[in-house]
Chain A
Amino acid sequence: QVQLVESGGGVVQPGRSLRLSCEASGFTFSRNSLHWVRQAPGKGLQWVAVISYDGSNKYYTDSVKGRFTISRDISKNTLFLQMDSLRVDDTAVYYCARGGRSWNTEFDYWGQGTLVTVSS
């Protein structure tokens, strides 16, 4: 069965960096796009970034462009989100989610999420 397990969250000061990981299993990693979606405490869902199935396309929501980088390691079936210049409003639970072969489709499986708290 498809499983996505996030890790790497924690408490970090504004301006610092953090790298999130998402280990995938139960499907062929290189056949699907992968996304990061976040949810601030008590708020709704916000899409953050996507990497296409072949890694050739990466897209980001405007508020993280130039600060966040999505990447993956196929040999380890792991998705990453490098978060630099963190801001207080980046505080959220970060979910990784599997997309379709096309990057602009649904998110059919989600991880359990990892909490990132940006605070001084």
Chain B
Amino acid sequence: SYALTQPPTVSVSPGRTASITCSGDNLEDKYVYWYQQKPGQSPVLVMSQDTKRPSGIPERFSGSNSGNTATLTISGTQPIDEADYYCQAWDSSTSVFGGGTKLTVL
């Protein structure tokens, strides 16, 4: 079955750029979606179709997808961006999530 792999943790200093990767076989052939989840809250879509920011998501969030790796980039990271981030893609009729990345801003 198809699998998406994310680093368990990423740390970044406030104001710097955070990059969260998501790897899968020939991932560039699929659309990748990204979700942010803060403790005790439901996930929120922060990136759609690799590079599209949904309405209300700050411009500091951007995405890319090339080869076997998709990347969610947060420029000028703020303390409020500290959260778990999940990538998601479809493989045939099954949706797959990455294991999640805990972003720490310190």
Show the binding face of A for B, using Cβ within 8 Å: 35, 37, 44-47, 50, 59, 61-62, 95, 104-108, 110-113
Contact = CB atoms under 8 A, between A and B. Distances in A.
Interface in B1-16: 1
Contact of B93 (A44, A104, A107, A110): A104
B99 interface: yes
Contacts of B43: 37, 45, 95, 107, 110
Q: What 4 A-B pairs have minimum CB-CB distances, sorted nearest first?
A: A47-B95, A110-B42, A104-B90, A44-B100
Nearest to B90: A104
B86 interface: yes
Nearest to A49: B95
Nearest to B99: A44
Interface string B14-45: 00000000000000000101010100001111
A90 to B, nearest CB: 17
A106 B42 contact: no
A106 B1 contact: no
A114 to B, nearest CB: 11
B41 to A, nearest CB: 9
B42 A112 contact: yes
B97 A47 contact: yes
Contact of A106 (B33, B84, B98): B33
Contacts of A107: 33, 35, 43, 45, 88
Contacts of A50: 95
Interface residues of B, number: 24
Nearest to B52: A106
7 contacts: A44-B100, A59-B94, A104-B95, A105-B31, A107-B35, A107-B45, A108-B54
Contacts of A112: 42
B94 A95 contact: no
A47 B96 contact: yes
Contacts of B31: 105
B42 A62 contact: no
B35 A108 contact: no
